[in-house]
Structure 1
């Protein structure tokens, strides 16, 4: 995406111009690029170090994921993949855990909806005031195995893991009785 197109996309985000989940995924890609380089439209007007994720980056993600054009739809796989990419790009965090919370909720929202399970609106599900346990599936019944395999594949070998997401996936597949230290071998990932 060109710099002009990126600037247009950021302008659209600020004016609630995200009209579909594809546009939201593209906008999340712009956030990822800003996290990687420390430059670009989402870092404009502030000091931003490369490979760092701060409260402003987390706020960008929240605004994108809850934009009026996508709020009534479940989180798409492309949006969840973009959140995985942002998670992986951010070696340093200074957002007080807001991104990790949003990331876990977005991925689980996608997994549950892709499995045909009911999910609350994005505004409710992704809110920092809503506990993920209040709406996320807690058992394997009804959860699409392909979706769980996709999550495990996304998490496999990543240097940055999300404990909340790992715990929920482990609970859903019935591995919750395993000690947390055993989860890396279950999912072939490192904590």
Structure 2
């Protein structure tokens, strides 16, 4: 993902006040969070002590604020947003957020995978809420799950030092179920996620 266009203030204003928001705008705002995690500086780290390569509750709050804006509620998490979240996850070698980002990250990626497969997903305010258990809405069977999306997620996770156990468990379940389908031949190497 390239450097964010515009200022974070402009992007947040658009995300929080516009009746219609382009999900690329939210991906751009998430890029500011990624940059703040990487450097420990910038608008998302302003006003607090923030070390480079660390993710704290402030960063998790920024991600939640961006992803759950009212105008986005009935839009599924996009590939660009999911990519930005993977980049934030990769950038953060240190976590000080009590698991808040990991919860949001897993839910957003599964929301993207399910919606990209044409499966029903709840509104973002429900699906991404810390009070909602992902098991209450995430697909648990591979029937109808787009194999390309599973391959993309597995490729994003492969070879990474830090793994989101909840996301890995859900993806492994879906991949395991998918291997019983006729499309199983298209999944070589997918199960090698480095668990």
Instruction: Give the alignment of 1:35-184 within 5 angstroms.
Output: 35-174=37-176
8 Å Cα contact 1:104-1:162 kept in structure 2? yes
CA distance in 2, matches of 1:172, 1:111: 11
8 Å Cα contact 1:74-1:113 kept in structure 2? yes
8 Å Cα contact 2:4-2:29 kept in structure 1? no
8 Å Cα contact 1:58-1:99 kept in structure 2? yes
Instruction: Deviation per CA, 1:83-117: give whole Å up to 9, x if none.
Output: 00000000000000000000000000000000000
CA distance in 2, matches of 1:31, 1:2: 10
| Structure 2 CA distance for partners of 1:129 and 1:170, relative to 1, 3 Å | same
| Structure 2 CA distance for partners of 1:149 and 1:2, relative to 1, 3 Å | closer
| Structure 2 CA distance for partners of 1:146 and 1:41, relative to 1, 3 Å | same
RMSD: 2.1
| Structure 2 CA distance for partners of 1:73 and 1:10, relative to 1, 3 Å | closer
Matched, 1:8 2:12: no
Instruction: Deviation per CA, 1:22-59: give whole Å up to 9, x if none.
Output: 10000001100000000000001111000000001000
State the TM-score, normalized to the length of structure 1.
Answer: 0.88
| Structure 2 CA distance for partners of 1:2 and 1:116, relative to 1, 3 Å | closer
Secondary structure at the aligned position of 1:42 is classed as coil
CA distance in 2, matches of 1:157, 1:2: 26
| Structure 2 CA distance for partners of 1:2 and 1:168, relative to 1, 3 Å | closer
| Structure 2 CA distance for partners of 1:159 and 1:2, relative to 1, 3 Å | closer
Structure 1, unaligned stretches of length 5 or more? Answer: 176-184
Structure 2, unaligned stretches of length 5 or more? Answer: 178-188
| Structure 2 CA distance for partners of 1:124 and 1:29, relative to 1, 3 Å | same
2:181 is matched with which residue? none
CA distance in 1, matches of 2:14, 2:95: 23
In the TM superposition, residue 190 of structure 1 has moved relative to its aligned partner by 3.2
Secondary structure at the aligned position of 1:110 is classed as helix
